[in-house]
Amino acid sequence: MVNGPVILLHSGKPEDDPKIRATILERFPDVTVHLAPTEEALHAVIPETEILFAWHFPVELLPKFEKLRWFQIMGAGVDKIAAGPRLPPHVQITNLRGVFGPAMAEYAIAYMLAHLQDVRRILQAQAERRWEPFRPGRLEGKTVGVIGLGSIGREIVNRCAALGMRVVGVKREPSDVPNVERVYTIDQIDQVLPQVDFLVIVVPQTAATTGLLSRDRLQFLKRSCFLVNIGRGNVAREEDLAEALRERWIAGAALDVFPVEPLPAESPLWELDNLYLTPHMSGPNQPHEVVRVFLDNLDRYLRGEPLVNYVDLDRGY
């Protein structure tokens, strides 16, 4: 007899949902897992849903969940939920903090290397059949500033340190972090910017991070600095970034996040030859990793134990 909680699964990828559902039921056969492939089906199951396991769920529908007790987000960012209708205090919200770190660290390293190896120059020479040797740069000995030292930031730190880089970092509350030479507070970011060869942004969207990398601060960076933003697009204004790259205030950038997504075709960023522009793909969520975190938390939920990766909406993460 099925007598466990009712779960609504809404991954945003209908092709993945049946497999995810089967995996949940294999471990917890007493729960009910609803899929909602249509809007009609979605509205039909909302009244009985106790647990919402979803990605990019319409926040305007959240107040309709009268029985909701737990919302497991299939991602790390919670800015849209924080900006939406406030859920009752008894509803626990958790995210996938920790899942995306390895992939996003690899993204950051990949584009730092692409910059130092001048991959654009190599491809251009290849296309023109020109044999043109040059001396590429190396990561070893370079200074990287990591803005945001949560789980993703620490993955980046560890990989950069392993490659012989000097690492400085910025976090909301100062504390020692392994492999970071010095940790600054967000109010001290102006001390960080002039000393870094690479700046990697991995902060969530909060009031404190919106506009953090202002036009003036972009000019504090070395002209040889390379910027990687895999945090949130609101950290800097699009027009300021475009100006910084166009005028060579910085050497280049890899941007995976933008204030408006998809990035509009008329954005000036598309035209820049010193920018790697990617469509918010630095942290792909693999279904097996997403389900693993949820199953561990579901076990805790059923036992009445505290959930991991609890989200404080007032802080924004």
CA distance 17 to 84: 25
CA 292 and chain centroid, separation: 19
Q: Is the peptide bond before 287 cis (omega within 30 degrees of 0)?
A: no
The angle subtended at Cα 154 by Cα 150 and Cα 159, nearest 5°, is: 155
**Is 261 known to be catalytic?**
yes
Catalytic residue among 239, 261, 271, 305: 261
Catalytic residue among 21, 97, 159, 232: 232
In 10 A of CB 52, how many CB atoms?
22
Name the packing angle between helices 101-116 and 151-162 (round to 10°). Answer: 40
**Is 280 known to be catalytic?**
yes
Q: In this structure, are residues 184 and 169 in contact, taking their beta carbons and an 8 Å threshold? A: yes
The angle subtended at Cα 70 by Cα 68 and Cα 72, nearest 5°, is: 125
Catalytic residue among 69, 120, 280, 300: 280
CA distance 103 to 235: 21
- Catalytic residue set: 232, 261, 280
